[in-house]
Amino acid sequence: MIQNLLRVEKYFDSPTEKLQVMRETLNQASGDLILKAHKPHISVRNLNVYLAKKHILKNVSLDIPDKAITCIIGPSGCGKTTLLKTFNRLLQNSVDVKIEGDVLVDGENIHGKEVEVESIRKKMGLLSQRPCPLPMSIYDNIAYGPRIHGIRRKKTLNLMVEKYLREAGLWDEVKDRLKSPATSLSIGQQQRLCLARGLAVKPEIILGDEATSALDPISSKKIEELFVKLRDQYSIVLVTHTLRQARRIADYVIFMYLGEVIEAAPASEIFSNPKEKLTKEYLDGYFS
């Protein structure tokens, strides 16, 4: 399919013609229906990532549908975190990284020369495994993002803090103690605070790296419900080890194994009828 699309790029010059053929190609592939309704928000083409000379991501090509929940599953060490960090260019901070291939966000190559790394990161809210509040008050945690992007007016900030705390379902729990340290919150609350903090920079994409794995079942369920609530407004990419969670909330699933994408398909399809043997074995719990 991807090859087809790439071919389309080459053979047709007029954009409308190209679009037409692309639509048809997409229609043919039933498994990619979802990518038709939700055109790709992030597209990865032939991505190779080397960390400390080790080949971590191997020729990865995939599409992340817009305004849907994509779950990335796969055994530990297969490169899920690395993939997420490539999306918002956090990887380049660490040692000895080599990145080849293209990552397109809204059609724009994030490794392009003119691209400002901050503007790429601003597009994506990141939720890490363990919640990581900034060493400041609850209020300042939410206001941190808006402030660095130039919002200074107290009134605007107040409104934003309230809005995003509400969006993350935390407002009622913290409205009386906005000035207390973020660390005084419970772990589950901290994770929702981090989500609110991410939303406050108005991202288009939410990246979650096992965002619920450190939480108790109830907090974890709350975060999950939030993702479901937010999926109409954001493209959500979640790395998860809990297959049951993926079954519950995923629209689209990407299965990775040893740095390669083995299968990417709509959730209904991959769970009921995986095409690859490896996927089936993983889903059946032969290995994890």
Partner 1 sequence: MRHIRIKRIEEKIFKGLMIVATLAIVVSLFLIIVAIVRRGLPVMSWDMISKIPTGGFYLGKEGGLLNAIVGSLYIVVGSISLGLFFSLPIVLYINLYLPEKSRLAQFTRLSFDVLFGIPSIVYGAFGFTIMVYLGIRTSLLAGILTVTMLIIPILIRSIDEVIRRVPKEMKDAALSLGATRSEIIKPILRQVAPGIVTAILLSVGRGIGDAASVLFTAGYTDSIPTSLSQPVATLPLAIFFQLSSPIAEVQDRAYAAALILTVIVLILSIAARFYSRKFSKNKI
Cα–Cα dist 79/82, whole Å:
5
Cα–Cα dist 163/286, whole Å:
45
Please enumerate in sequence order all residues whose Cβ is within 8 A of that of 152, keeping only pairs 6 or more positions apart, or say none.
none
What 3-state class would DSSP assign to 153? coil
Q: Footprint of ligand ATP on residues 50-79 (CB under 6 A)? A: 51-52, 54, 56, 76-79
Residues that bind Mg ion (CB under 5 A): 81
- Which of residues 87 and 164 has its CB atom nearest to ligand ATP in the complex? 87
Name which of Mg ion, partner 1, ligand ATP, none residue 128 binds, using a CB cut-off of 5 to 8 Å depending on partner kind: partner 1
Question: How far apart are CB 36 and partner 1 at their closest, in Å?
Answer: 30
From the number of C-beta atoms within 10 Å of its C-beta (0-12, 13-18, 19+), residue 8 rates as middle
Question: How far apart are CB 84 and ligand ATP at their closest, in Å?
Answer: 8
- Which of residues 12 and 50 has its CB atom nearest to ligand ATP in the complex? 50
- Which of residues 38 and 89 has its CB atom nearest to ligand ATP in the complex? 89
Question: How far apart are CB 19 and ligand ATP at their closest, in Å?
Answer: 35
- Binds ligand ATP (CB under 6 A): choice among 11, 16, 93, 95: 95
Tokens of 43: 């597209």
Name which of Mg ion, ligand ATP, partner 1, none residue 145 binds, using a CB cut-off of 5 to 8 Å depending on partner kind: partner 1
- Which of residues 36 and 241 has its CB atom nearest to Mg ion in the complex? 241
For 18, 72, 236, 267, the CA distances from 249, given in Å and listed in that order, are: 34, 12, 11, 9
What 3-state class would DSSP assign to 87? helix
- Work out whether the CA dihedral 216, 219, 223, 228 comes out positive or negative: positive
Question: How far apart are CB 135 and partner 1 at their closest, in Å?
Answer: 4
- Binds ligand ATP (CB under 6 A): choice among 82, 86, 235, 240: 82
Q: Which stretch binds partner 1 (CB under 8 A): 192-200, 227-235, 264-272, 277-285?
A: 192-200
- Work out whether the CA dihedral 179, 183, 187, 193 comes out positive or negative: positive
Contacting positions for ligand ATP (CB under 6 A): 51-52, 54, 56, 76-82, 94-95
